[in-house]
Amino acid sequence: MEAVKTVLRFADGRVMKGFTQGFDPRRASFRFQESGGALADRWKEMQLAGLKAICFVKDFAGTPLHDERKNFEKEEKIQGRRVQVTFLDGEKILGFAIANDVRRPGFFFFPADLKSNNFGVFVILDAVHDIWYL
C-alpha cells in the first residue's frame, strides 16, 4: 500500500506533515511517518484523540496563492451531501460529506473547491462545533 501525503491538524493549533498508510476510519489510531525524516525512520501509531482533521494533500507546500472557493457550482456532480462544517476554533469548511456516522470518530469530507490542495479530509467529530447540511 502506497504512503499518502498527509497534514495532521491538531485541536490545539499544531500542524504536522508526513505520510500515512492504510488509514482506516473505524480505528482510533493510524500509522504516520513525519516528513523530513530518513527513510529508515519508523512509522508511529498516532491517536485520533486531540486531532481536528487529517488532510490528505496533493503537495506539502500547498497552494498559498489560490483563493479557495467557498461556494458550490450548480453543475457539480460530487458524491455525498453538501455540508458546511464549523470547528470548535471557528474555522468553517465547505464541501461534501460521506456517511457521517456518529458512532465513528469522524467522517470523510471533500472540499467544494476541486482545485484545493486537499483532495480529502477526515474530520474528527470531537473537534466539530456543528455541521450544516445544505
Q: Is residue 86 part of a domain?
A: yes
Q: Are residues 49 and 85 in the same domain?
A: no
> In terms of residue numbers, what domain contains 89?
81-118+126-133
Residue 128: per-residue pLDDT? 95
Q: Strand 4-10's sheet: what is its strand order?
A: 44-47, 29-34, 15-20, 4-10, 51-57, 118-124, 106-111, 92-98, 81-87, 128-133
Q: What is the pLDDT of residues 10-59, one digit of tens each?
A: 999 999 999 998 899 889 999 999 987 665 568 899 999 999 999 999 99
Query: What mean pLDDT value characterizes the chain?
Result: 87
Residue 100: per-residue pLDDT? 65
Residue 75: per-residue pLDDT? 65
Q: Is residue 47 part of a domain?
A: yes
Q: Are residues 50 and 93 in the same domain?
A: no
Q: Is residue 63 part of a domain?
A: no
Q: Is residue 95 part of a domain?
A: yes
Residue 62: per-residue pLDDT? 82
Does the model's pTM come out above 0.85? yes
Looking at residues 70-80, what average pLDDT do you find? 70
Residue 77: per-residue pLDDT? 62
How many domains, the chain?
2
- pLDDT over 80 (residue 1): no
In 3D space, the residue among 80, 51, 72, 63 whose CA is nearest the CA of residue 118 turns out to be 63
Q: Is residue 52 part of a domain?
A: yes
